[in-house]
Amino acid sequence: MASNASDRPRIGITTYLEPATWGIWQREAALLPRVYLDAVVTAGGVPILLPPLGTDPSILDVLDGLIIAGGCDVDPGSYDAVPHEETVDTRPGRDEHEATLIRAALDRDLPLLAICRGLQMLNVTLGGTLHQHLPDLITSDEHRPSPAVFGRTEVELEPDSLTARLLGDRSSVHCYHHQALDAVAPALRVTARAADGTVEAAEADGYGFALGVQWHPEENAEDLRLFTALIDASRRRTA
């Protein structure tokens, strides 16, 4: 059973499976940047890591909310596309893992926050497609200025959306991506765009809390409204 409303909600977060080095060891490991953990803890939740192995959607029965984290490019095979030369470092196993968890979360109406790659996976899982290399469309690298450097993007939010209720009409956000939503899945509603037209947020209507953002809210420790909203929705669901 999921936790009681008086508890700190248990929030599952998907992880990377990558080569890693610590101490004298060099081995493959399940990884997640600490900023995700700090954001969940500060917002009032307990983070639980979900590695892309041994996928079993029944794990969601003991969770109160789910975060689909950022990471590598989504495999174009997920949406029947030919790989672009700039689409690299894909992880089809992680794609399958996260698609399974997304479907199970929506089936359970489990509060869901999908971040960057997470929004792309939400769209692809529900039948949408991706632009594989955004600079081909907008002739700019502003969404990913240089390796390991986050850009700042001004986004305009759609009125009467969950996203706008949480963040207002406009917001300045941290971004780092070169892929973005192309054909938007029928089940999703676009709720924020950048000035260049890039889809920056989308939500699934008919659910208590199912929101994806193209930016990285975990990178702004001074503004954790999306994480707080996820925690609040998780508490309401288990009340």
What DSSP line would sit under the chain, residue for residue?
Answer: -PPPTTSPPEEEEE-EEEEEEETTEEEEEEE--HHHHHHHHHHT-EEEEE-SSS--GGGGGG-SEEEE---SPPPGGGGT-PPPTT--S--HHHHHHHHHHHHHHHHHT--EEEETHHHHHHHHHTT--EES-THHHHS--TTS-BTTB-EEEEEEEPTTSHHHHHH-SEEEEEE--S-EESSPPTTEEEEEEETT--EEEEEETTSSSEEEESS-GGG-TT--HHHHHHHHHHHHHH-
**Contact at 8 Å (CB) between 112 and 106?**
yes
Determine the Cα–Cα distance for residues 98 and 118; give it in Å rounded to an integer: 8
116 is catalytic: yes
219 is catalytic: no
Determine the Cα–Cα distance for residues 50 and 68; give it in Å rounded to an integer: 10
216 is catalytic: yes
Q: Which of 131, 143, 216, 219 is catalytic?
A: 216
Q: Which of 98, 203, 218, 219 is catalytic?
A: 218
Q: Which of 116, 143, 178, 219 is catalytic?
A: 116
Listed residue (64, 60, 20, 18) closest to 40, CA to CA: 64
- Beta-carbon count within 10 A of 221 CB: 11
* Active-site residue set: 116, 216, 218
